Amino acid sequence: MSDILERLLHSVESGKINRLSPFPPSLKGQDGADELCKQALDEGIKPDIILNEALIPGMSNIGEKYSQGRAFVPEMLISAKAMTAAMKHLKPFFISGEIKRKGVFVIGTVAGDLHEIGKNIVSMTIEGSGWEVVDLGVDVKADKFLETIEKYPGSVVGMSALLTTTMASMESIVKEIKNKYPGKVIMVGGAPLSHEFCNSIGADFYSPDPRGAVEFLKKLGA
């Protein structure tokens, strides 16, 4: 791997967004994901190589640390922001078709719930793995999910809930979607959820962390 790709990977993994960002202290004053991604493109490195050899591995590494308890939500969030800073340079290549999107991922925090940090981390991580993400925001009702699914018929759906009181809302939304689109793949996540709850409401997959969601999407063949 070239030196610039190694530095870009490390910037994403460690959360070095750009030259001005103070975190992490060990990289203070150095170029971050923003500058390094642009430099890689300027040097003629193909955008798909940048994505697959630097951005995706960088997020995968921090995701693995999170799964093992060696990184926490703030580290995941800042790594996702670093990845997003790099991704803005690649977006024109997605639009032109030079980089192929793996699919469309529709995500939202369910009706009655206004929490979004976990959803945002998942959104940015999945976007960084090559998917187009349609983020519906928070307090999303069934009709908004259904309207968006109609617009993106081949999409995979993700739902988040952080409150036990909104788990019932998640269940009803899943049932409404499955009634209209029986084959629709639905992933769920959030602190109070479990594999058992996922199965009981008819959803297809549950993960306690973003890395699990990315791995599940890989298994779909995308």
DSSP string of 153-205, one letter each residue: TT-EEEEE--SGGGHHHHHHHHHHHHHH-TT--EEEE-TT--HHHHHHHT-SE
Q: Could you tell me the pLDDT band of residue 25, with boundaries at 50, 70 and 90?
A: very high
202 and 113 share one domain: yes
- Domain end call among 73, 96, 119: 96
Residue 214: CB atoms within 10 Å: 21
Q: Are residues 79 and 134 in the same domain?
A: no
**107 CB contacts (<8 Å, ≥6 apart)?**
119, 122, 123, 126, 133, 134, 135, 136, 157, 158, 159, 160
Q: Which of the listed residues 96, 121, 146 is the one where a domain comes to its end?
A: 96
What pTM did the predictor assign?
0.82
Please tell me the distance from the alpha carbon of residue 130 to that of residue 16, in angstroms, as a whole number.
Answer: 20
Domain that holds residue 44: 3-96
Domain stops at, among 96, 128, 155 = 96
Regarding whether 109 and 37 lie in a shared domain, the answer is: no
What is the distance between the terminal CA atoms of the chain, rounded to a whole angstrom? Answer: 24
Percentage of the chain modeled with pLDDT above 70: 99
CATH at 31? 1.10.1240.10
CB-CB contact of 118 with 160 (8 Å): yes
191 and 111 in one domain? yes
Condensed to tens digits (0 to 9), the pLDDT of residues 188-200 reads 999 899 999 999 9
Q: Do 113 and 70 belong to one domain? A: no
Query: Are both 24 and 119 inside the same structural domain?
Result: no
- Check pLDDT > 70 for residue 222: no
C-alpha–C-alpha distance, residues 54 and 66, integer Å: 18
Q: What is the pLDDT of residue 221?
A: 64
Q: What is the mean pLDDT of residues 69-76?
A: 89
Q: How many distinct structural domains can be found in the chain?
A: 2
Are 213 and 112 found together in one domain? yes
